Amino acid sequence: MTKINYELEKELLIYETLKKSIKELKEYYKNNPDSRIVNEKSTIPYLKEQIACLKNINKFKMSILNHFLYYIKRISNSLELHCLDGTLKLQFRISLYLLLFGIIASTNSSSYKEELLTAEEQHAIMDDLSNTIRDITTEFDEKFKEEERIKKEGEEQTKKLLEEINKTTEEIIINKNESYLKEYSNYFNFDSEKVIEIAKTLTNNFENDVIISIGNKKVTSSNPETMAIFLVWDLYKNSSDYGLTKEELTTSDEISHLKYDEEGKIILRNGLTFSEFMGKVSDSIESDRCFNLAVSNFESDEQTNSQSIEKNNFGGWRYDKEYLTFPSPEAGIIYHSMMLEKKRNTWDYANLSEFSGIYTQNDKTLPNIEWVNNVTSFLAVYKDNEEEYFILEEEIEKDSSEMMLAMTLSE
């Protein structure tokens, strides 16, 4: 578009210059009707000097005018320009008018004294040339107007499209955030609408990230799933910090339990296995998924002891020596992953032996050797076979892209 406009503007400038020159020549001839005299000084240097004075029409000698008109008539007739049309005609006329002066300047004008035009012929050619320039200018004016219209329409359409894209993007972001908040609220039997309102307040309608504190560790919740995981966990533990009681947030006291597929694997409501979901939660809060799963599988006898089956407690978590009960297996996995990461980032310990004392006795000077050996054994298995137990990062990115595409298409 820019290149075309540039070319059009350049050619229009030529047309305007010619039109002005013709107007001045006609005015000159009107005021000097008898000035059909061939100047005796028509040498090549003199002609060049006169041509250089084109802008000052009073110095433009009639000898040059006559030859100018003669060549227009002679060349126009020989090429039959009136039969040409479109771009070819325009380009040829431009070339003809511009090169004409060079032809005159390089020719001895005395050989054409016998062929000087009559006043009527000069008038006719002048009128024809004026009409031609007017027609060409009008044509290009129309082209400019059309291009300006198309350009304006294009800009308006682009602006509208960008607004629609921004609006759609905002809707996708809001829908994605609300979708995760609803999912994770359901795991804790929370009122999802209340949780969503709290999240919107924290994030300014999902425009800002949330800084998550897990012990001394801080995580930025640029991922909406991370924010949902953290928020429901924190509301479950510290609802009073948000000006609410747990009863005000909870919609039901019903407890859902572990379910197994035909092969005996635990399958959660989101379609993931036990280890896959623990890995997903751990990755979201930048925690060690292999370590979290190793501790859980040792503490819960690989989800077979009573606190796992009855209470969804997969880490042996207690309060006043009583095992905690969680509303769902998913809630139990989230609580275990978050609390284990919090302990790891709150306590000062030198090795796994000291951490075993912290985990089992809240005292790093009382290590539990059995705990260390079993967790280490589980850990080695998971680290050597992560693809068997977890969804790897490239698979998560693929699933996320497919989900975003599905959400976009559903709009």
Residues in the chain: 411
pLDDT value of position 120: 65
Give the pLDDT confidence of 23-44 residue by residue, as tens digits.
555 565 566 555 443 333 333 3
Evaluate if residue 214 carries a pLDDT over 70: yes
pLDDT value of position 88: 44
Q: What is the pTM of this model?
A: 0.60
d(CA 378, CA 370): 12
Give the pLDDT confidence of 110-158 residue by residue, as tens digits.
444 434 445 565 566 556 656 655 665 666 667 667 777 888 888 888 8
Between 397 and 282, the higher pLDDT residue: 282
pLDDT value of position 380: 95
* φ, ψ dihedrals at 32, nearest 5°: -135, 70
pLDDT value of position 321: 85
* Pair of tokens at residue 241: 């910090």
Return the sign of the alpha-carbon dihedral for residues 5, 9, 11, 15: positive
Quick one: average pLDDT of 320-334?
95
pLDDT value of position 28: 55
The percentage of the chain sitting over the pLDDT mark of 90, rounded to a whole number, equals 42
Between 142 and 374, the higher pLDDT residue: 374
Tell me how crowded residue 230 is: count the other CB atoms within 10 A of its CB: 22
Quick one: average pLDDT of 307-322?
94
Give the pLDDT confidence of 32-78 residue by residue, as tens digits.
555 443 333 333 344 444 444 443 433 343 444 444 555 455 544 44
pLDDT value of position 289: 96
Evaluate if residue 299 carries a pLDDT over 50: yes
Which has the closest alpha carbon to 93: 137, 49, 144?
Answer: 137
Quick one: average pLDDT of 206-218?
84
Cβ proximity of 236 and 335 under 8 Å: yes
Give the pLDDT confidence of 218-262 residue by residue, as tens digits.
877 778 898 999 999 999 999 998 999 988 999 999 999 999 999
